[in-house]
Structure 1
Amino acid sequence: MLSASTDPLTSCYDLAMLDLDGVVYIGGDAVPGAADHLRATRAAGLRVAFITNNAARPPEEVAAHLVDLGVEAHTGDVVTSAQAAAQVLLERHGRGARVVRLGGPGLEAALSAAGLEPVGPDDEAVAVVTGYGPEVLWRDIMRVAVRVRDGLPWVASNADATIPTQFGAAPGHGVLVETIARFADVTPVIAGKPERPLLDETVRRVGGRRPLMVGDRLDTDIEGARNAGVDSLLVMTGVTGLPELAAAAPEQRPSYVSADLGGLLASHAVPTREGADHALGGWRARVAEGALQVEGDGAADDWWRVVAQVCWAHLDEEGTAVDVDGVGVPEVQRSGR
Structure 2
Amino acid sequence: MHPDLASYDTVVSDLDGTLWIDDTPLPGAVGLLDSFRRRGARICLATNASVATSAQLRAGLTRAGLAAPGDVLVTAADALGAQARELGIHEVAAIGEAGLFDALARHGVRAVPGDEVWRSWSSTPSGRAVAMGLAPDTDIRTLGRVAMLLERGLPLLVTTTEVAYPTREGLSGGTGMALAALAARVAVDPIICGKPSSPFLTALRPHVAGRVLMIGDTVAADVELAAAAGWDSLLVLTGTSADQHTDWPRATFVTPDLLTIGAR
TM-score normalised over the length of structure 2:
0.85
Cα distance in 2 between the residues matched to 1:144 and 1:194: 25
1:203 aligns with 2:205: yes
Unaligned runs of 5+ in 2: 122-126
1:174 aligns with 2:170: no
Choose which of 39, 48, 52 in structure 2 pairs with 1:44.
Answer: 39
Cα distance in 2 between the residues matched to 1:10 and 1:236: 22
Cα distance, 1:231 vs structure 2: 2.3
Secondary structure at the aligned position of 1:220 is classed as helix
Cα distance in 2 between the residues matched to 1:243 and 1:162: 14
Tell me the alpha carbon deviations over residues 169-188 of structure 1, each in whole angstroms, 9 at most, x when there is no partner.
Answer: 22211011112123221220
Choose which of 107, 115, 120 in structure 2 pairs with 1:114.
Answer: 107
Distance 1:74 1:52, change over 3 A: farther
The amino acid that maps onto 2:94 is R
Identity level (%)? 33
Contact kept in structure 1, 2:163 and 2:176, CA below 8 Å: yes
Q: Which residue is equivalent to 2:124?
A: none
Q: Which moved more, 1:218-227 or 1:49-58?
A: 218-227
Cα distance in 2 between the residues matched to 1:65 and 1:225: 26
Q: Which residue is equivalent to 2:227?
A: 226
Highest relative contact order (Cα 8 Å, sep 6+), 1 or 2? Answer: 2
5 Å-filtered alignment, 1:7-156, equals: 8-11=4-7, 13-73=8-68, 77-93=72-88, 97-121=90-114, 122=117, 124=121, 126-156=128-158
Cα distance, 1:86 vs structure 2: 1.0
Secondary structure at the aligned position of 1:225 is classed as helix
TM-score normalised over the length of structure 1:
0.68
Cα distance in 1 between the residues matched to 2:238 and 2:165: 17
Cα distance in 1 between the residues matched to 2:79 and 2:73: 12
Unaligned runs of 5+ in 1: 266-333
Cα distance, 1:209 vs structure 2: 4.5
The amino acid that maps onto 2:196 is P
Tell me the alpha carbon deviations over residues 104-137 of structure 1, each in whole angstroms, 9 at most, x when there is no partner.
Answer: 1100000011111112331556111101123435
Distance 1:162 1:236, change over 3 A: closer
Equivalent residues, number: 255
Cα distance, 1:10 vs structure 2: 3.5
Contact kept in structure 2, 1:149 and 1:183, CA below 8 Å: no
Contact kept in structure 1, 2:81 and 2:104, CA below 8 Å: yes
5 Å-filtered alignment, 1:181-330, equals: 181-204=183-206, 206-241=207-242, 244-246=245-247, 248=248, 250=249, 253-261=250-258
The amino acid that maps onto 1:221 is D
Cα distance, 1:263 vs structure 2: 7.2
Cα distance in 2 between the residues matched to 1:202 and 1:91: 16
The two structures, once aligned, show a CA RMSD in angstroms of 2.6
